[in-house]
Amino acid sequence: MHLFHQRGPLHDLPDTPEAYDAVLADVVEQALARLTPEGSLEHPDCTDDIGDTSLGITSLLALAWQRGKDPRLPEAVGRSLAFHLRERVYRDDNPGYPNLRARGRALPYARYVLAAGAHPIGDWPSTVWALLQAVNLLDVLDTPDGRDLAGDGQRAELLEVARGYWTWLTEATFFNPQEAGNQAIGCVVGGLMLARRLPPEEGGRVRARALALYSEEIRAHRVRDRGALLPPEHGGAYDNNYGPISLSFLAQAHRVSGEQVFAEDGEALARYIDARLTNGGFDNGGPRYSEQHSAFESVLGLRYFGARIGADLGRYRGDSRWARYAAKPDGGVDGHFAWMLVWQIQDDSRWHREPSTASARHQLRAGTVSVAFDDRMTPAVVEAAGTYCLAAAVDRQHGFGPVTDGFLLCRPMGAVRVRDVRADGLAAKLVTTPVVGRDHVLRYVRSLYVTDGTALWTTVAVERLDGTPYLLAGLPYAQDDGDRVRRTADCAVASAGTLRLTHPAGTGAEYFDARAALTQEQAAFALAADPRGYGDPDAGWRHLVASTALEAGPITDAPDDLHVFAVRHGSAEPLTVSVRRGEDGLTVRTGAFTAVLGPDDAHGEPTLAVRAGSR
């Protein structure tokens, strides 16, 4: 089976003006065929996330008119705008809405679900989205060409509604009630864009309020993950669906305001994404979705900031079903998030297609091999030969490292030290982690990762352990399959000691067997405390008791006081590794490289030397 949402790299989509004109032409034909006598452009199957969708398509039609002057569009824009202003602007408080700070103010807002009280929790983001659709449309209506699309009365009414949306979002309700960074930054963008359409004094106040909200309500509450401060997403540090969408909002905020803070924070988030993203563009994890990737919604941010930091962020695997715009199961345009298509068409940045050459603490990457490390500096995803391995689980413990008597030695008890080296066409990372086992003895786990760009060698050394230890070396999970990613339960791997692929003996949601037709996201939501879409799949996955796992035994050719484990991802050919202690430190030899793990320097940092060959 294929993963549902992870498909082709986003930078494979043509992004020339001609390509975007073809996209808009497609939207125009769908919209003109759909336009109802009342002026609605909503998809007939749309029931939720609906309050802004007709207006979103109207804004796309206005952009198409600006670029191509199709004579059919002025009437369609006028009729559909009238529909939104007449039928989709609500002023009565939605019964049961839990986030109001002031009632009965008759301010306009947009509904997530049209029926009163049916699903009021989504009204805040739906109103953000409606504000963004409105300001995009106003940008066109305020040009000389735009006068052909709407009269002064319609334009003035839309501006007044946009003012009201902003006031409802920032005064009548609690700000960012879902703790969703993408929604909150989107609201700030709406304020910054609205300010440009207002008289100078009023616009200045709105702009100042938007910047203050960003500083006080978003930036001040950033969450640290893998060394980076990130806008919190649905209560967590990062979500692989919404995080890149936040990046797009930061790009637009910088484009329209010029404020350096948006560039700084966008570049920090972009570097974080580059570090956690595999070479092949696979990623998983997040407090809202584990594997549901965005597509066109992420293009602006990944392209804009990828160019700024010099990284190939376009390798991110998007969902091609939403490659150009939000779509329903029949492929028809929805109108949701239409502003992102508008902005990416207006933006003239281009994809940076070369990998960043800078070393990143939380990633090792070369050629077709990559390791993304988590906050503990244990691998979260290992990629080699087009196969992705996740961190495995044993006895409710998750990670990558030595196991003795069921105890996994990968949780740091002190500072984790890292050394990166590139030499002779090799990229290497040495991670030294102090750990404490059940016997309360402090040990140092030294994990060496070396790649030539086609395979990954991992050598782990630790003071000698009792019992029959082994290395927990990953959960084979997925493989590249053209422009899709498919589930797998196997991978090309070799060990210098014994090697076995085990599957959990237990049954139930707490046991993940990679041979089952089940995705990580499905399993994570089954273990989450709340329903799918509201629970935290990352928290659910942490309840996993055991999983399919690669288990590698220690090598025999090692110092007597050490247990050393050695595996190679990317090839199943026999592997031979020797480890010797000498005056220079611990020397690791394979047929491909020789590495010397030297003594710590004067600051306690590990030293490492690597050269090609075994001599």
Q: What is the mean pLDDT of each run of 10 residues along the chain (615 residues)?
A: 94 95 98 98 96 98 96 97 98 95 96 91 96 98 90 95 98 96 98 98 98 98 95 90 97 98 98 97 93 95 98 96 95 97 97 95 97 97 98 97 96 97 97 95 97 98 96 98 94 98 95 96 94 88 97 96 98 97 95 96 95 85
- The whole-number pLDDT of residue 74 equals 97
Amino acid at 128: V
Q: How many CB atoms lie within 10 A of CB 482?
A: 9
Amino acid at 62: A
3 state SS for 387-412: EEEECEEECCEEECEEEECCEECCCC
Asked if residue 511 lies in contact with residue 504, where contact means CB atoms within 8 angstroms, the answer is yes
End-to-end CA distance of the chain: 45
- The whole-number pLDDT of residue 2 equals 95
Residue 534 in tokens: 């509201």
The pTM of this model reads 0.97
Residue 486 in tokens: 């498919």
- The whole-number pLDDT of residue 262 equals 98
Question: How far is the C-alpha of 133 from the C-alpha of 509, rounded, in Å?
Answer: 42
The DSSP 8-state label assigned to residue 177 in this structure reads T
Residue 180 in tokens: 């969703």
- The whole-number pLDDT of residue 118 equals 86
User: 356-368 burial, b for 16+ CB within 10 Å, e for fewer?
Assistant: beeebebbbbbbb
- The whole-number pLDDT of residue 147 equals 85
- The whole-number pLDDT of residue 343 equals 98
| 487 torsion bin: left (phi>0), alpha (psi -120 to 50), beta (else) | beta
- The whole-number pLDDT of residue 119 equals 79
Distance set, CA 93 to CA 165, 212, 372 (Å): 13, 27, 47
- The whole-number pLDDT of residue 503 equals 98
Q: How many CB atoms lie within 10 A of CB 508?
A: 9
577 Cα distance to chain centroid = 37
- The whole-number pLDDT of residue 533 equals 79
Task: Identify which of 512, 449, 519 has the alpha carbon closest to the alpha carbon of residue 478.
Answer: 519
